[in-house]
Chain A
Amino acid sequence: MTHVILLGIVGLVGGTFGSMVGLGGGVFIIPALTLFLGVPIHNAISASLIAVVATSTTAAAAYVREDLSNMRLGMTMETMTVAGALVGGFLGATLSKGVLSAIFGSVMIVVSVYMVVAKRAVRAPLAHDDDLGVLGHSYFDRNLQTVVSYRVHKLPVGMGVSGIAGAVSGLLGVGGGFLKVPVMVLAMGVPVRAAVSTSSFMIGVTACASSAVYFARGLIDPAVAVPVVLGVTLGAYFGSKLTLRVRSSVLTVVLAVVLFALSIQMILSAAGISVR
């Protein structure tokens, strides 16, 4: 019974932080389950994928209602993410996870440092309501007490990174939000709050494809997945409420710290140093 409660707590923490920074929580859940609770890595990955779906669904329900998610942009980028997830799933058999972990860990260190140092780049240029383009969007920012409108720039860059995020998701069992949020914020001119909520909207669809295969093959252990999912659902609900009350600059720093920690974890794992 204690083990079940601990699984639920891991899910609760993963869901809260994951939904706050636009990730599915897998980056917290997989290391916690394997490091502290002795769950086999394959069961941890499959539980994490289901947890990503739960986090995304819970958070997206709140964000979409608040008009924060840019569904046209999310769905456009999702074409590349799901295609990437398919390629990633099949490449997994030939490419070493260690090599990929090292490459993406290094990229994420650069991105996380850049996000903190170049805060000006995080502030998206505002646009007028009649100048949003096909993918632009506007929403009411409760913290700023104003309507924020933005145009979407450099769509090809975003689509390319989305494809890579999908491939990583298919390979490592995570949602891929850790790549989508930075590219939306840094390259595409999407405000961080909108990027986080749009990413939450997207990652559930990506994880759905991978976890359905796990389910069909009988690779999901309900004794592990169910407590984690229930904890994650509760955590994602709290996280989505907290996000609406936290300043974008704070959210950016939290995101940068999460990315930095994740990148260190990935590089250590690539070097054969187990931190899980």
Chain B
Amino acid sequence: MRASESTHTSGVRDEHRDETRLNVAISRVLIVGLLAAVALLVIGAILAIARPGVTVPHVTSVRDIPSELAALRPGGFFELGLLVLLATPFARVLALGIAFARRRWWLFAGISAAVAALLILGAVLGVTLG
């Protein structure tokens, strides 16, 4: 009885240790996405200060991002930075789903996939149905 209790407790500890590693991995995804977004926004801000004659657009346009970046206009960096920031939570959901699947926690892998699918559905419906 004591041996089975000990095995169970050890299993719980292993699971918690595994979860701590998962937490660190997810935290890295968040930090990388955030730092990339902030870096792009700061570059845009520096360009805006350095080139006061260049105006910052008051609307976002995904199509204009490449040309704005090529011309080193602050607007392109602002828009790409905001886009990277918005993509970070989605990347977090995907990373969490993959991590759950690799640990064979199928219930939570399925839940993460459902959340990702709902996010995609929402964005598509929002854009198409307006």
What is the minimal beta-carbon distance from A203 to any residue of chain B, in angstroms? 9
Q: What is the chain B residue whose CB lies nearest that of A61?
A: B30
What is the minimal beta-carbon distance from B16 to any residue of chain A, in angstroms? 7
1/0 per residue, CB under 8 A from B, across A255-276: the answer is 0000000000000000000000
1/0 per residue, CB under 8 A from A, across B48-85: the answer is 00000000111111100000000000010011011101
Complex interface: chain B residues within 8 A of A83 (CB): 118
Find residues 78-120 in chain A having any chain B CB closer than 8 Å to their own CB.
78-79, 82-83, 85-86, 89-90
A213 is an interface residue with CB less than 8 A from chain B: yes
Please state if B82 and A89 are interface contacts (CB–CB under 8 Å): no
Please state if B79 and A222 are interface contacts (CB–CB under 8 Å): yes
Please state if B58 and A222 are interface contacts (CB–CB under 8 Å): yes
Complex interface: chain B residues within 8 A of A216 (CB): 62, 123, 126-127
Where chain A touches its partner, the secondary structure class is: helix
Question: Contact check: which of B57, B88, B122 meets A213 at CB < 8 Å?
Answer: B122
1/0 per residue, CB under 8 A from A, across B105-121: the answer is 10110011011001101
Please state if B112 and A75 are interface contacts (CB–CB under 8 Å): yes
The range of chain A's interface size is 35 or more
A171 is an interface residue with CB less than 8 A from chain B: no
1/0 per residue, CB under 8 A from A, across B23-63: the answer is 11011001101100110011011000000000011111110
| A-B residue pairs in contact (CB < 8 Å), sample of 15 | A50-B86, A57-B89, A60-B27, A61-B30, A75-B115, A76-B108, A79-B118, A89-B122, A138-B16, A212-B122, A215-B82, A217-B126, A222-B57, A226-B82, A230-B45
Residue positions of A touching B, CB distance < 8 A: 50, 53-54, 56-58, 60-62, 64-65, 67, 69, 71-72, 75-76, 78-79, 82-83, 85-86, 89-90, 129-130, 132, 134, 138, 204-205, 207-213, 215-223, 225-226, 229-230, 233
Additional A-B contact list (15), CB under 8 Å, known A78-B93, A208-B89, A230-B41: A53-B85, A61-B30, A64-B26, A64-B30, A67-B19, A67-B20, A82-B119, A129-B16, A134-B107, A209-B119, A210-B122, A220-B59, A221-B58, A225-B78, A226-B82
Residue positions of B touching A, CB distance < 8 A: 8-9, 12-13, 16, 19-20, 22-24, 26-27, 30-31, 33-34, 37-38, 41-42, 44-45, 56-62, 75, 78-79, 81-83, 85-86, 88-90, 92-93, 96, 105, 107-108, 111-112, 114-115, 118-119, 121-123, 125-127, 129-130
